[in-house]
């Protein structure tokens, strides 16, 4: 049987050592990603949400092989990417790309737009200057930019247009998988939806698969087929977007949902206010990591860690007392 996933994390961990003193002794670890297993199906958008610092970017980067895993596997088209030779890895680089939150920070301001978009082609393809120019024009048109402006610098473009430049760069080598890390978070709401629509159009036309990372559920709702909710280094719930919004099973998901302002909601959703601070990923709470803040916590939650299991058909949750 062929694998159901284009890319899959299996028991993935990424720890950052905490060093102290003159001899840089390791005194602990920031457990940024701590035993995460999930997969992204070909052609889908998997939305990944959770509070700041819960490990979303680290997970995305380990899956792209931009950071090395501490433990566990990342399988791309069935192959463990950490075991590939250098030639295979080079091929993999072309198949997987990233779009960042801050296009200004990721685009060299001294490069012309045509050179920014053409750079991956120059590095990875044997193409003449005129072939690259033709392809840059084609890519700019594909992402809705005026190609006659390719001899300009990125600062001459608006925030939304700069994000389109970042997207054109990311798709230049025709990748299969793209991690969009807070790709629209810095944009105005109206521009956000234009860029989301562009990403969806490109997905249709180019057969792309996305891991779409954002803080809040409202941003991922429109674009995602499925959503994974992260809390302190763990995925605590996975469901189709419709099912997750209709009925969250994990208390933390319910908290995130209750934070979205909903002017005309049938059957009003009560706003749940979280108690306490986000605990440190260097010293996560015992048992269920959410227990110090969970409004539904019981004694068992303090001692026994809940595994991410099938809690309802096609849905996973890591909670001893899911909200049915
Ligand atoms: N290079 C690093 N060295 C040490 N700790 C790190 C490093 N990168 C990330 N961390 C820590 O790992 C944890 C997860 O960080 P990460 O950036 O993945 O979170 P995030 O969910 O993407 O947050 P945000 O929503 O703010 O982008 C945080 O506690 C962070 O401080
Ligand atoms: S296991 Fe317990 S503490 Fe954790 S989310 Fe479920 S009810 Fe809350
Ligand atoms: Mg991040």
pLDDT of residue 294: 95
Return the ligand number nearest the Cα of 286: 2
Kindly report, residue by residue over 290-318, the tens digit of the pLDDT: 999 999 999 999 999 999 999 999 999 99
pLDDT tens for each residue of the chain, 324 residues long: 557 999 999 999 999 999 999 999 999 999 999 999 999 999 999 999 999 999 999 999 999 999 999 999 999 999 999 999 988 998 999 999 999 987 778 889 999 999 999 999 999 999 999 999 999 999 999 999 999 999 999 999 999 999 999 999 999 999 999 999 999 998 999 999 999 999 999 999 999 999 999 998 999 999 999 999 999 999 999 999 999 999 999 999 999 998 876 655 455 566 777 877 889 999 999 999 999 999 999 999 999 999 999 999 999 999 999 998
Model pTM score: 0.95
Could you tell me the distance, in angstroms and rounded to a whole number, from the CA of residue 25 to the centre of ligand 1? Answer: 21
CATH superfamily of 7-95+175-317: P-loop containing nucleotide triphosphate hydrolases (3.40.50.300)
- Residue carrying structure tokens 């440190």: 280
Distance CA 278, CA 54 (A): 9
Kindly report, residue by residue over 215-273, the tens digit of the pLDDT: 989 999 999 999 999 999 999 999 999 999 999 999 999 999 988 766 554 555 667 77
Could you tell me the distance, in angstroms and rounded to a whole number, from the CA of residue 193 to the centre of ligand 3? Answer: 20
CB 189 within 8 A of CB 219: no
- What atom in ligand 2 is closest to the CA of residue 236? 5
Give CA separation, 132 vs 10, 123, 126, 230, 319, in Å.
Answer: 39, 11, 9, 40, 52
The residue ranges of every structural domain in the chain are 7-95+175-317
Return the ligand number nearest the Cα of 254: 2
Nearest CA to ligand 2 atom 3: 291
Ligand 2 site: residues with CB under 6 angstroms?
Answer: 250-251, 288, 290-291, 294, 296-297, 301, 306, 319-321
Distance CA 44, CA 228 (A): 13
Nearest CA to ligand 1 atom 16: 55
58, 102, 228: which to mutate for ligand 1, most atoms within 8 A of CB?
58
Nearest to 70 by CA among 25, 24, 27, 36: 36
Q: Residue 80 pairs with which residues in a beta bridge?
A: 75
Please list, in sequence order, all residues whose beta carbon lies within 8 angstroms of the beta carbon of residue 12, skipping any fewer than 6 positions away. Answer: 33, 35, 36, 37, 59, 62, 63, 69, 71, 72, 73, 74
pLDDT of residue 268: 56
């Amino acid at each position: 049987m062929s694998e159901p996933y284009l890319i899959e994390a299996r028991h993935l961990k990424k720890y950052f050592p905490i060093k102290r003193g003159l001899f840089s002794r390791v005194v602990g670890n920031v457990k940024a990603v701590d035993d995460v297993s999930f997969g992204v199906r070909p052609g889908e958008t998997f939305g990944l949400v959770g509070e700041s610092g819960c490990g979303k970017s680290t997970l995305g980067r380990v899956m792209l092989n931009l950071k090395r895993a501490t433990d566990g596997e990342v399988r791309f088209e069935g192959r463990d990417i950490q075991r590939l030779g250098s030639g295979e890895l080079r091929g993999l680089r072309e198949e997987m790309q990233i779009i960042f939150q801050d296009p200004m920070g990721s685009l060299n301001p001294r490069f012309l737009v045509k050179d920014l978009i053409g750079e991956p082609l120059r590095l990875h393809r044997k193409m003449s200057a005129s072939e690259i120019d033709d392809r840059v024009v084609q890519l700019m048109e594909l992402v809705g930019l005026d190609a006659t402006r390719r001899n300009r610098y990125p600062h001459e473009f608006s925030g939304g247009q700069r994000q389109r430049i970042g997207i054109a760069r990311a798709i230049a080598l025709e990748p299969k998988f793209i991690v969009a890390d807070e790709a629209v978070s810095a944009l105005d709401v109206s521009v956000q939806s234009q860029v989301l629509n562009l990403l969806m159009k490109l997905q249709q036309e180019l057969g792309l698969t996305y891991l779409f990372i954002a803080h809040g559920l409202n941003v991922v709702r429109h674009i995602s087929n499925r959503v994974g909710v992260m809390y302190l280094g763990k995925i605590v719930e996975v469901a189709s977007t419709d099912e997750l919004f209709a009925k969250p099973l994990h208390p933390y998901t319910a908290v995130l949902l209750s934070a979205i302002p909903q002017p005309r909601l049938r059957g009003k959703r009560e706003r749940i206010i979280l108690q306490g601070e986000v605990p440190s990923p260097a010293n996560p709470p015992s048992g269920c990591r959410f227990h110090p803040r969970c409004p539904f916590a019981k004694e068992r939650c303090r001692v026994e860690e809940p595994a991410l299991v099938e809690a309802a058909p096609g849905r996973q949750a890591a909670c001893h007392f899911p909200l049915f």
